[in-house]
Amino acid sequence: MINYLKFCLLVSLPIMNLGCGGGDTIQESATSGNIYVGAEDAFRLVIEAEIYSFEAAYKYAKVNPVFSSEGTLLQYLMEDSVRGVIISRELSAEEEKMLNAVKVIPKTTKIFYDGLALVSNPLFPDSNLTFNQVKKMFSGNAHIWSDVLPGGSSDSIRIVFDSPKSGNARFIRELLGLDELPKSCFAVNSNQEVINYIEKNKNAVGLIGSNWISDPQDTVSHKFLSKIKVMGLSSIRDVDGALGFFKPYQGYIADGSYPFKRTVYYISREAGTRLGTGFAAFLAGDIGQRIILKAGLVPATVPVRLVNISSE
């Protein structure tokens, strides 16, 4: 882990340089400059908090976030439109080869774990789904809710995503071994729009990044939690739910009980020690990891203490 002292040593570089015209210009370093960094919309709240804290600590640093889908962000990275991206997978061999072809050696930093949350309208008849029921929902053979839920309605199954190019959609396809999503799935434009749709449609479910609901003390998360219901899921090791159900809470993500656990990375195309390097070090360092912990997510380098509460 990059601790705070090491980070300070890393970033203690000169940040001011006299320009030819006699005025001060900012020379880019690990704590100064102006860059664009892409991040999946699923992680918007925590990344906004990280940028705010980083810029507050280093007044000559400006990190401009670009929030979009995973597919779009990777395109920006290849085109050199952003210095780095924050997404829920590592680069493929083909993507690395494309960057190597233009003399770029990408650097990957693991920053946190999150859970992909399945959410429903508060009036949805069930609060828990087994992993087998989830697989049936996405099989393409289930068309109405009674095909999945005992005593379910005859309403058509509707599953809403944030974007067809998002990491949320890609994660589900890979986890369930799907070549494509069934016709019951459709996309809107953001995680917030998924929540807005679910609020108005009692027989639909949606998939969002747990960051949007993981911190009840955050005003945005608190507002959304009052509009929707977060579904409990059985673990992959217990597909029929005999051992109970788990929500995308910090402890259940940390111990692997929650089945939709993801690893989130900062992938940089930057050479040398520049502002993107400093921001990556901040994310993986003590302060950045504590921000992740407070946001209800699971830090990559700071252990999460699990507390067993007994009813005795």
Going from N- to C-terminal start, the domains of the chain cover: 4-113+262-299, 114-254
What's the rounded Cα separation, in Å, for the pair 201 and 198?
5
Cβ proximity of 267 and 167 under 8 Å = no
The domain defined by 4-113+262-299 folds into D-Maltodextrin-Binding Protein; domain 2 (3.40.190)
What is the pLDDT at residue 27?
A: 87
Tokens of 306: 């699990």
State CA 145 to chain mean position distance. Answer: 29
**CATH superfamily name and code, 114-254:** Periplasmic binding protein-like II (3.40.190.10)
Tokens of 207: 């998939």
Instruction: Extract the runs of DSSP E, i.e. beta strands, from 44-91.
Output: 61-68, 84-87
Q: How confident is the model at residue 15 (pLDDT cuts 50, 70, 90)?
A: very low
**More reliable by pLDDT, 15 or 272:** 272
What's the rounded Cα separation, in Å, for the pair 163 and 165?
5
What is the pLDDT at residue 216?
A: 78
On the 0-12 / 13-18 / 19+ scale of CB atoms within 10 A, 50 is buried
Q: What is the pLDDT of residues 242-292, one digit of tens each?
A: 999 999 999 999 999 999 999 999 999 999 999 999 999 999 999 999 999
pLDDT of 305 over the 80 cut: no
Q: What is the pLDDT of residues 46-98, one digit of tens each?
A: 999 999 999 999 999 999 999 999 999 999 999 999 999 999 999 999 999 99
Does 4-113+262-299 match 114-254 in CATH topology?
yes
Q: What is the pLDDT of residues 172-195, one digit of tens each?
A: 999 999 999 999 999 999 999 999
pLDDT of 4 over the 80 cut: no
Tokens of 29: 């370093």
Cβ proximity of 278 and 11 under 8 Å = yes
Query: Tokens 């479910």 — which residue?
Result: 205
Measured between alpha carbons, how far is residue 224 from residues 207, 214, 250 in Å?
14, 10, 18
- Flag whether the pTM goes above 0.75: yes
Cβ proximity of 38 and 84 under 8 Å = yes
What's the rounded Cα separation, in Å, for the pair 119 and 121?
7
What is the pLDDT at residue 89?
A: 98
What's the rounded Cα separation, in Å, for the pair 42 and 170?
13
What is the pLDDT at residue 307?
A: 52
Cβ proximity of 66 and 58 under 8 Å = no
Tokens of 267: 């992938």
What's the rounded Cα separation, in Å, for the pair 73 and 43?
13
